[in-house]
Amino acid sequence: MITSILLWTWVVFGLILILLVLLHSPKGDGMGGLAASGSSMFTSASSAEASLNRATWLCLAIFLSLAIILSAGWLN
């Protein structure tokens, strides 16, 4: 039973992680921006962007932890 709860939690965090990544604003020109001046690459993030980054990293950590726990078979 706990395995199925963790499995559904893992799926939900995966969907939330996809949503959080899609909410991020584009950072520049992609690979073409590497040859240009790097002044725009290291600008500080706003408060909303910083919070979004923190939420994304937290969701990623939970998602990967659940993936390791479920794949290792520690609950069987």
- Nearest Cα neighbor of 23 from 49, 61, 43, 42 is 49
- Nearest Cα neighbor of 63 from 2, 23, 5, 11 is 11
Which pLDDT tens digit goes with each residue over 37-72?
555 555 566 888 999 999 999 999 999 999 999 999
| CA-to-CA dists, residue 64 to 14, 49, 59, 69, angstroms | 9, 22, 9, 9
How does the average pLDDT of the chain come out, rounded? 86
- Widest CA span in the chain: 55
Please tell me the predicted confidence (pLDDT) of residue 72. 95
